[in-house]
Structure 1
Amino acid sequence: MSDVLAVDAVGLTKTYGTLTAVDRLSLQVGQGEVYGVLGPNGAGKTTFLRMLFGLIRPDAGTLHILGRTWDEHGIRALDGVAGFIESPKFYPGLTGRKNLQLLAGLDGGAGRSRIDEVLETVDLRGRERDKVGGYSFGMRQRLGVAASLLRDPRLLVLDEPANGLDPAGIRDMRALVKRLAGSGLTVLLSSHDMAEVEEICDDVTIMRTGAVVYHGSIAALRAKAPEQAHEIHTTDDERAALLARAAELEVTRLDDGLAVRGPQPQIDALVAQLIGEGIALRRLTRRETPLEALFFMLTEPDTDPAAPELAITGAAR
């Protein structure tokens, strides 16, 4: 595989008046990896992807896509690149196959066998002769992936591909991305869902209000995450809180119950102790995962990402 990076962004900045949508963004995506750009709405993810596709130009910084730049290569900067920004659009009165045929014609042509192949890849064989207007939202998302695959790209860019899907659609989209990554395709996706990125990405950049607050691997991020938190509801929350603190667990009072954070063996021991002392356990539920908790710590507006406990930004690879 070539040593040329799939995406090499250095110091990208984009402003709109007084708003800095992207602030000196640098990231590198190696070929063959699944890379996530993560952040809440308004973090600058889609603005970055628009710059990558040439829909807008950065005010500062450089961007190489598979070794090419928009300034030097023009539209050829997208050779080997495909994907979609926000939700893909199709002619609702035409069938899935006809939509793909039209798009293939605009992009240099793709034969029947290639269309059959991409329909098979996204699990739409058998529905390709149905009108797109009758497709579910998840089916339209998968048709968007199929349209992107027509040109047999080396880099696939997906903007929030699971956004708006029901649980079954989310499962199917994640499975599809995993299959594509397993074939050696480089995938760059944006998301605001930590669980999605944790499951399918190798490396991640987390953004907040246009700026990067973390670069690095999912494994390194996981090592920085706090312990798992649980909600505990008992018949004597006052006594339960005392026992939890005595066990050196972090305790937060809720309107109804407690939030207890700490190593899982200590949580298990606390539960056994509560029962042993005659305190009935009404409910025990996991809160957000440790990585989700860390994501909120990094991106919520009332936190300081430069604080020592949150200063986990690494250098871009």
Structure 2
Amino acid sequence: MEGAMALNREVIVEVTNLSKKFGKTTVINDVSFNLKKGEIKGLLGPNGSGKTTILKMLVGLLKPTKGSILIEGINVQTDFEKAISKVGAIIENPEMYEYLTGYDNLWQYLRMAPNASEHRVDEVIELLGMQSYVHDKVETYSLGMLQRLGLAQALIHQPSILLLDEPTNGLDPAGIQDLRKHIKKLSNEGVSIIISSHLLAEIEMICDSVLIINNGQIVSDSELDDVRSVEESTYFFKLLNIEKLETLLSKHHLYQQVEKIVPNGFMIQAAEFEIAIVNKFLVENGFDVVGIEQVRTTLEDAFLARVRGDQ
């Protein structure tokens, strides 16, 4: 898998003991994580958890109260221009010259990008499928069109690191699918990407790893599969005979973990060893167990479990 391979590559971004205070209020508290070459890392957290604040510190829009940020070994605070030269970003809503066309906006950004090829504007337009509207004035753009133009701007100088804050805002399902394809292509080419999003299903489809933030602190920083693997999972017991099932189950010490009883069985949240105990109990009491299936844990399930546990 490309994602698994990416996690064995060199560290491109190293964040150490990062904190941010506004007055006496601590917004980010002692956050540390790495981003590796070609890795796509999802940045998740409830509204107000500090996701955008972290991204703003990564690109120098906010100064950390404490801690360090190294980009390709260069300190953002002590050598900002060199550190940030290979970073592309969309933080909050993309800012454009509305009285200019999208094409002219991209040329403005190209002029600020040292060593960028004059063909780069046409390349990103084609990459993102913007040909039909790129020569219209930005003031006429929908939110989705503006979001795509912002991504084009972020890619204009061929960055090795891409920071995307809610990049799917305003995109229709086809646009989201196209964006997912572009992001995976960039990752395969070695670009390291952080995506902040509230769309957990999208993060699940695209990311190699997930960083979960709550109340300004890291709740979890793991590969995607590790985030989904919680100690307790939901299992479905399929039975042939369920008469008096609930009465019997209510006598078992694990009854409080039963989530739902359905016409052909029941669902229970339990650890693996407990499933064997429940199965033995059912068989000993005359029930015919014809199947036990682990219900796949989604990223949403894992996210809610981690955040609630943190609280």
1:206 is displaced (CA, Å) by: 0.4
Contact kept in structure 1, 2:147 and 2:169, CA below 8 Å: no
Equivalent position SS for 1:42: coil
> AA paired with 1:295?
F
Pairing partner for 1:21 from 27, 38, 43: 27
Question: Cα distance 1:70–1:262, how it changes in 2: closer, same or farther (>3 A)?
Answer: closer
What TM-score, normalized to structure 2? 0.75
Question: Cα distance 1:288–1:241, how it changes in 2: closer, same or farther (>3 A)?
Answer: farther
1:69-148 correspondence to structure 2 within 5 Å? 69-108=75-114, 110-148=116-154
Question: Cα distance 1:72–1:135, how it changes in 2: closer, same or farther (>3 A)?
Answer: same
1:154 is displaced (CA, Å) by: 0.7
1:186 aligns with 2:192: yes
Counterpart of 2:246 in structure 1 is 242
Question: Cα distance 1:152–1:244, how it changes in 2: closer, same or farther (>3 A)?
Answer: farther
Pairing partner for 2:18 from 12, 16, 25: 12
1:182 is displaced (CA, Å) by: 2.5
> AA paired with 1:85?
I
CA distance in 2, matches of 1:225, 1:243: 28
Size of the aligned set, in residue pairs, is: 268
Contact kept in structure 2, 1:4 and 1:31, CA below 8 Å: yes
1:261 is displaced (CA, Å) by: 5.3
Counterpart of 1:36 in structure 2 is 42
CA distance in 2, matches of 1:241, 1:131: 67
Contact kept in structure 2, 1:227 and 1:290, CA below 8 Å: no
> Which deviations, in whole Å up to 9, do the C-alpha atoms of 1:74-116 show, x marking residues without a partner?
3221021111211212223322111101121233474442111
CA distance in 1, matches of 2:190, 2:248: 48
> Which deviations, in whole Å up to 9, do the C-alpha atoms of 1:37-86 show, x marking residues without a partner?
11111111111111111111111111101111123313221021111211
Counterpart of 2:304 in structure 1 is 296
> AA paired with 2:200?
M
Unaligned runs of at least 5 residues, structure 1:
231-238, 254-258, 267-286, 307-317
Contact kept in structure 1, 2:259 and 2:269, CA below 8 Å: no
Counterpart of 1:314 in structure 2 is none
Question: Cα distance 1:127–1:243, how it changes in 2: closer, same or farther (>3 A)?
Answer: farther
Counterpart of 2:219 in structure 1 is 213
> AA paired with 2:19?
T
1:121 is displaced (CA, Å) by: 1.0
Equivalent position SS for 1:179: helix
Equivalent position SS for 1:117: helix
Greater gyration radius: 2
CA distance in 1, matches of 2:203, 2:172: 17
Contact kept in structure 1, 2:144 and 2:169, CA below 8 Å: no
Question: Cα distance 1:45–1:74, how it changes in 2: closer, same or farther (>3 A)?
Answer: same
Equivalent position SS for 1:71: coil
> Which deviations, in whole Å up to 9, do the C-alpha atoms of 1:119-177 show, x marking residues without a partner?
11111123221222232222211111111111111111111111343433333322322
Question: Cα distance 1:96–1:298, how it changes in 2: closer, same or farther (>3 A)?
Answer: same
Question: Cα distance 1:214–1:105, how it changes in 2: closer, same or farther (>3 A)?
Answer: same
> Which deviations, in whole Å up to 9, do the C-alpha atoms of 1:190-248 show, x marking residues without a partner?
12222122111111110001000001100111222764699xxxxxxxx8993995897
Unaligned runs of at least 5 residues, structure 2:
1-5, 237-242, 276-294
CA distance in 1, matches of 2:40, 2:165: 13
Computed over aligned residues only, the root mean square deviation of the Cα atoms, in angstroms, reads 3.3
Question: Cα distance 1:242–1:97, how it changes in 2: closer, same or farther (>3 A)?
Answer: same
Counterpart of 1:169 in structure 2 is 175
1:46 aligns with 2:65: no
CA distance in 2, matches of 1:294, 1:142: 30
Counterpart of 2:259 in structure 1 is 251
Question: Cα distance 1:4–1:171, how it changes in 2: closer, same or farther (>3 A)?
Answer: closer
Percent identity over the alignment? 35
CA distance in 1, matches of 2:91, 2:59: 9
CA distance in 2, matches of 1:40, 1:181: 26
CA distance in 2, matches of 1:241, 1:58: 58
CA distance in 2, matches of 1:35, 1:96: 29
